[in-house]
Structure 1
């Protein structure tokens, strides 16, 4: 319930509640909050159970896309693209089209994606691509 609140924040809230409500009203406020939280949790579980009862087997069909979305949250963008758009074939991302394993990560050793270029000599002008300008 307090998954995102650390001990320091919890102590600050407790001290603030003690100052605002006072020591005589604090126990009643705590019991009211716990009773209300328990009632909200019971309403939520009752609504979920009622939905399961009314939908029957279709409830699982409704839950599957939500489970898929939760699975995507933890994946990197590249993994999502590979899994869902490319059906697990990441050759377009790695440049490995012949099915041989890649060397040193993303590109195969025998077919680099871009040829290596040597630095220009002093006074040498770079090549110009008229279609790119």
Structure 2
């Protein structure tokens, strides 16, 4: 398959093109298509060679399949991040009640008559 086109579809397109273009102009168009295909293949080959030359030897060692974004599953990444990095000592037995530390620091305690701090620029 070529971009979802089957051989039958390509043959049908070629047959329709042969009728539309006509037998007189068909050889010239086929030659132009062959020339374009060769130029495109040479351009891709030159681009690939140039990228390898400019990126250096480390470029050939890259495993491109590991960098494919389609392989990433956010659920798996989060699960691995939460489970793999947890230290064993931090996991408490079920019989102990674990109280998490407060998320915000406790405010300072004031005695009667103390004036709390005030920020003029905050209002």
Length-normalised TM-score, structure 1: 0.48
Partner of 2:21: 21
On the 8 A contact 1:52/1:59 being kept in 2, the answer is yes
Q: What is the distance in 2 between the residues matched to 1:88 and 1:22? A: 64
Q: 2:78 aligns with which of 77, 81, 85?
A: 85
The separation in 2 between residues aligned to 1:85 and 1:23, in whole angstroms, is 63
Say which one has the larger Rg: 2
CA distance in 2, matches of 1:33, 1:84: 47
1:41 & 1:84 partners in 2: Cα distance?
A: 39
- TM-aligned CA deviation for residue 89 of structure 1: 7.8
Contact 1:18/1:26 (<8 A) preserved = yes
Computed over aligned residues only, the root mean square deviation of the Cα atoms, in angstroms, reads 3.0
Q: Deviations over 1:82-101 (max 9, x none)?
A: 543322888xxxxxxxxxxx
- Matched residues in 2 for 1:52 and 1:31: separation? 32
Structure with higher helix content: 2
The alignment covers a number of residue pairs equal to: 83
**Is there any run of 5+ residues in structure 1 with no aligned partner, and where?**
91-133
Unaligned runs of 5+ in 2: 84-123
Greater RCO, 1 or 2 (C-alpha within 8 Å, sep 6+): 1
Cα offset, 1:47, TM superposition: 1.1
TM-score by length of 2: 0.51
